Amino acid sequence: MRSRDLFTAVMLFAIYSLLSAALFAVLDAGDVALTEAAVGAGISTILMLAVLALVPRKEAEAPRPNWPALTVVILTGAVLIYATLDFPEFGNPDNPVQTHVGPYYVQETYNDMGIPNMVAAVLASYRSIDTMGEGFVILTAGLAVYALLGTRRRKPRIAPKKSRSGSLEKKAADR
Amino acid sequence: MRNNGILRVVARFLIPLIMLFALYIQFHGEYSPGGGFQAGVVFAAAWILFALIYGLDSALDVIPERAMYVLMLVGVLIYCAVGIAGVVLGGHFLDYRPLLDNPQYAQQFGIVTVELGIGITVATVTMLFFTMFVQRKADSDALEEHD
């Protein structure tokens, strides 16, 4: 599927996110499905539309394919696919993921905390320093957007004349 | 969009429900799917819907930009404060057990509090993103009109 219309691309991305959320819901991963639906399909789409209001609607046409970039992408993809061959068997109960701390969380969450949602227990208690890091990531993202867009471009105080010097003055005032 | 009656009526009906649902997944997150992250985003979505229908200025009257800067820091500070409280009361950083006598209640208290902190930060940062982009658009439009 290929589109140069960025609005179409954003909408397809939102649909893709919503389908992923449905997939997670089918897999009984309620927390992940909720996150994907709220963040992936909801807020990301709105923010991308907000960006689209600032940029042209069509993607710029590339004159010819970028061969070095294409080579890098294909090589990386091939390496990643090769790496998946070493994965443990899907769903095998002896996999490291099932034998490390997972059983402890499954068996002891209720005794430790008295709450049934193991995801909340892992995120907010067993692995709470990770979640604190996530909070700081969000805060940093907010600060970064503020640093990039927060400096309001004031309107020039003197009404600019319809002349070259006027627009120059305005550009100076913008900075 | 503001003069579309259907949108206004539906939004007026939906916005309180979305906010209520956000609070539900915030404070019921230990029992059902949810947590601070999702709740913050859903709450911000309700506010953004309000801003889309009634205009950004009315939305900023409800939650001013200055409040967002303060609250996004308050959120992570709540999280850190819970962590440090555990240290002060004789445990490790982000150890909830010293907070209350009953270890289970202490864990629940800790989880709810840090999730609240995450929820506040995520909600306000998301609102701030939206505000920043919309104001940027308004500014560049205003500048174009000057030319």
- Residues of B with Cβ-Cβ distance to A35 under 8 angstroms: 37-38
Mean pLDDT in chain A?
Answer: 83
Q: Residue B147's pLDDT is what?
A: 66
3-class SS letters over B107-138: HHHHHHHHHHHHHHHHHHHHHHHHHHHHHHHH
Does the pLDDT at position B118 exceed 70? Answer: yes
Residue B32: pLDDT band with limits 50, 70, 90: confident
The pLDDT of residue A24: 94
A80-139 residues touching B, CB cutoff 8 A: 112-117, 119-121, 123-125, 128-129, 131-132, 134-136, 138-139
CA-to-CA distance for A128 and B93, rounded, in angstroms?
Answer: 10
In this predicted structure, the answer to whether residue A175 has a pLDDT above a threshold of 90 is no
pLDDT band with cut points at 50, 70 and 90 for residue A81: very high
pLDDT greater than 60 at residue A64: yes
pLDDT(B25) > 70: yes
For the beta carbon of residue A102, count every other beta carbon within 10 angstroms.
14
Output the pLDDT for position A168. Answer: 47
- How many C-beta neighbours within 10 Å does residue A99 have? 10
Q: Are B146 and A156 in contact (CB under 8 A)?
A: yes
Res. B94 pLDDT band, cuts 50 70 90: confident
Mean pLDDT, residues A130-141: 93
Alpha-carbon distance values, A89 to A5, A27, B59 (Å): 41, 18, 52
ipTM of the complex: 0.88
Q: Does B86 touch chain A (CB under 8 A)?
A: no
Residues 6-45 of B with CB under 8 A from A: 25, 29-38, 41-42, 44-45
Tell me the average pLDDT across B75-85: 92
| A54: closest chain B residue by CA | B137
B1 band by pLDDT with thresholds 50, 70 and 90? low
Predicted local distance difference test score (pLDDT) of residue A95: 82
| Share above pLDDT 90 across residues of chain B, in percent, rounded to a whole number | 50
A18 versus B147: the higher-pLDDT residue is A18
Q: Is the pLDDT of residue B22 over 80?
A: yes
Please report the pLDDT score of residue B102 as a whole number: 86
More confident: A122 or A78: A78
